[in-house]
A and B are shown apart, each in its own frame.
Chain A
Amino acid sequence: GAGVSQSPRYKVAKRGQDVALRCDPISGHVSLFWYQQALGQGPEFLTYFQNEAQLDKSGLPSDRFFAERPEGSVSTLKIQRTQQEDSAVYLCASSSGGLAGGGQNEQFFGPGTRLTVL
């Protein structure tokens, strides 16, 4: 399809396990964002990539969270030693433009990965 895809859609992990969440942005999109959405809340920013460069990771809650986008397309969000408070929906979004030139392009969101940590 032409939209943002994420996999897996659902992930159940035991506390202490490592998980990897994948995002396939819209082809050609320069910007890629990760957000975390807790139950009953709005999404919260985690990190931002412009092509392969991670320009902002200020929203990552701890050093257990790590994201990469090595070739400027697919991105992976990794959570090490998962804890119960990591349970949330993880949303990926992409947009066509980068930061140069100003303005704000629409962000297209994927369906999310629902992570449950037992």
Chain B
Amino acid sequence: AQKVTQAQTEISVVEKEDVTLDCVYETRDTTYYLFWYKQPPSGELVFLIRRNSFDEQNEISGRYSWNFQKSTSSFNFTITASQVVDSAVYFCALSEELGSARQLTFGSGTQLTVLP
């Protein structure tokens, strides 16, 4: 069965610091998809990125970057030069190709607080 672990429950940084959110996953499927979502205080989940299991290239989008390593089953997320608006709960999620619904399995989330 698939599982996503986000060991960091809460992280607090000062504005402009870099911060990395960890994500470790478990799956028996050879084809799967990994996601990061942001959940601000308003509650709506905002999609950030999707990677498939065959694409291990790291990705950078502005201040955001993602490090996907199949060897360690990790998909970590780094925010460079953090800003107060980055404060939110961040969820890592996994979807298996063979799943009957390809539903997302989420980690328990990391609460990021960026202090001014």
Contacts and interface: CB of A to CB of B under 8 A. Distances in A.
B109 A33 contact: no
Interface residues of A, number: 27
Residue of A55, A56, A104, A110 with highest tally of chain B CB at under 10 A: A104
A110 B101 contact: no
A56 B99 CA distance: 10
B33 A110 contact: no
A63 B12 CA distance: 41
A87 B55 CA distance: 39
The size class of the interface chain B forms with chain A is 20 to 34
Contacts of B100: 48, 55-56, 58
Contact of B33 (A55, A59, A104, A109): A104
B45 A33 contact: no
Interface string B87-116: 000010101010011111111110000000
A40 B91 CA distance: 11
Interface of A: 33, 35, 40-45, 48, 55-56, 58-59, 89, 91, 93, 99, 102, 104, 106-112, 114
